[in-house]
Every structure is written in structure tokens, then in C-alpha cells.
Amino acid sequence: MKKIKINVGAAIITSFLCAGGVGTAQADSAASARILVGFPAGGNVDLVARLIAPDLSKALGRPVIVDNRPGASGRLAINLATTSAPDGSTFILTPGVALTLYPHTFTELRYEPFKDLAPVSNAVNWNLGLAVPSSSGIKNFADYVQSIKADPNQTFFASSSTGSGQHLAGLYLGQTLGVALEHVGYKGASEAIVALVGAQVPAAVLNIGELIQQSETGKIKVLALFDSKRDPLLPDTPSIAELGYPQLEINGWLAFYAPAGTQPELVQAAQASIATTLNNAAVKEKLRLAGMQSASSTPEELDAKGKKEFEHWQTVIQSLPNFSKF
């Protein structure tokens, strides 16, 4: 099978103004700018936004607030961002799958990701993990494969939301293993974790930052990471590649974008501010402990990455039998 490496992830869509003389006529520097976040406060997307905000505020010469607008797997916030003027007053932090996956999985979108948005910089990357309750008695990936092939009741898996990268990763895993896995969507990772720990579902595909704590307490067992290598935070958990399924490498990422039409000077200033924050040792450590890796990029690199992943998701979905949009 052709190897498909997918970076699932999230995107920060930004529009802003650099205080150092870049486009100062476009916005009132005394007014605050906002980073829209399509999820509740306290999650990893919110964490990244709040880590980015201080340096971004310095670059803009104006206050930057984090504005949480949860709903529709982050699509509501994207709609608001893509209809905002590119005048330096609005930013958004949202899953990258909103650009690369959602166009393939949802029947109605009010935005065109590569038309309505301009790339600025990648921000962070992370791994996805497959986990089971410790009470299941499953010790490794081979045990899991045996269980889902022997017992239809074991074929269910949870994710943080329907249509997410986690959801599609689980379906693709089942298709690769020759087993029809059944998805159970929850309203956020917290609900999915509670269900997993309580053995209400036999398995879950979630971001490793959402799995680490319960893994350390022994309540769940992480069987595999959807990556080419192991993660230092879970050194005893094998990668999906070393288990013999390199085509299942699926990594998450967050990235910055701006509303289409944002001046190149503003994009360049934003990229520099983001890189400064992400190169800070203290910020890197906070991200690491949350299961994320700092990873800035140029706008050109991000644009190529997003378009490549868009095509990869299309290939994956076409390989899934009887898949229908939501």
C-alpha cells in the first residue's frame, strides 16, 4: 500500500498588525485584537493560543485577548474568522483538520480553506494514540487486533468528536486491519476519556496529550502511536510504523492562517512573532508536557503541507467502504 503520512491537526487563522511600522493605518492600535478559539477554555488549543498571545501583543502594539467560541468542532469560529476583515483585529486557533479534512467529511461548509485563508506559520505538532481500558486485559496491539477480530462487541472506539481526525484515523485503522470498527463520538476529549477509563467503550483514538495522565495512573493502556517513531512521553508505546503499518502515520498540527487579502508585510511580522514564542525554552517545555512539539514554519511550507494533507485525506476517505459525509 502506498504510504500516506497525514498530519491531522489544527490551524490558527490570524489577521493582525505589526506595531513596528507595518500597515499602521489599517487598524486602531489602541483597540484590542482577539484570537478566536473554537473550543472551550482549558484545552490544548486554548493553551497554545494563550502562550502565543503575549509576544503577539508585543508585535502588534495592542492587547490580544483569547476569545473562546466553541461549537461544531471548531467550524463556528472559522466561519467568524473567515468573514472578519483582514485589518489586524481578528485571529483564530482551530484544528488543522478544519482545512484539510472537514471539506471531505461535512456536507456543508461556509468557507473554502485555501481561498478564504492565507498561510502564516505552523505552530505545534502532536501524535495520536490508540488506547484501551486497563481493565480490558489487553496488553499490546496484537492482543487488540485479536480481540476485535474475535468479538464484534470490541470493535467500537471513541473519539473527541464526529468527523474529527481521530474518528477518521480509527476508521482507517479498521479498514487496514480488515475489521469494520464502529465509531462513538463524544463532545470533547474529556467525555471520551471518562468513557474509556470506565470501560464504557472498549477503545479510543485520541491525542496523546489527552491520554498521558490516565496512562501514568495505570487506568488505561496506550497500545500504539500513529507515527513513525516513539514519543519520549510514552517511551514504552510502539509506533504504528514499527508494528508494520507505516501507512497509518497520522500526526496532528496547529498552524496560523490569516484572512485572505492580509498584506504580506503583516503575515511576515506574524510569522516572526510566532517563531519567537515557539523558540522560547519555557514555552517548549509547557508544550512538551501537554504532548505537543513546537514547530514553526514559513508560510510557503505551511501552504504546501496543508494542500498535501488535503489530498491525502481525500485518498484515505476514498479507500473507506460506504463512507458518507456528515
CA distances to 97, 169, 266, 313 from 241, rounded to whole Å, are 22, 14, 40, 18
Ramachandran angles phi, psi of 16, nearest 5°: -160, 180
- The fraction of the chain above a pLDDT of 90, given in percent, is 61
pLDDT at 6 over 80: no
* CATH 3.40.190.150 domain residues, the chain: 6-126+251-319
* CATH 3.40.190.10 domain residues, the chain: 127-248
CA distances to 3, 58, 180, 216 from 171, rounded to whole Å, are 17, 44, 7, 27
Tell me the β-bridge partners of 206. Answer: 129
pLDDT band for position 245 (cuts 50, 70, 90): very high
pLDDT at 76 over 50: yes
The pTM of this model reads 0.84
**C-alpha angle with apex 259: 256 to 262, nearest 5 degrees?**
100
**Considering only 25-29, 64-68, 138-142, 320-324, which range has the smallest mean pLDDT?**
25-29
What was the pLDDT predicted at 29? Answer: 52
More confident residue, 71 or 112: 112
**The domain defined by 127-248 carries CATH number 3.40.190.10:** yes
Q: What's the pLDDT tens digit per position in 197-227?
A: 999 999 999 999 889 999 999 999 999 999 9
Q: How do strand 156-159 and strand 182-185 relate by DSSP bridges?
A: parallel
Protein fold of 6-126+251-319: D-Maltodextrin-Binding Protein; domain 2 (3.40.190)
What was the pLDDT predicted at 30? Answer: 57
| DSSP H helical ranges for the chain | 44-60, 75-82, 97-100, 102-105, 113-116, 141-150, 165-177, 189-197, 212-216, 264-278, 281-289, 299-319
What was the pLDDT predicted at 197? Answer: 97
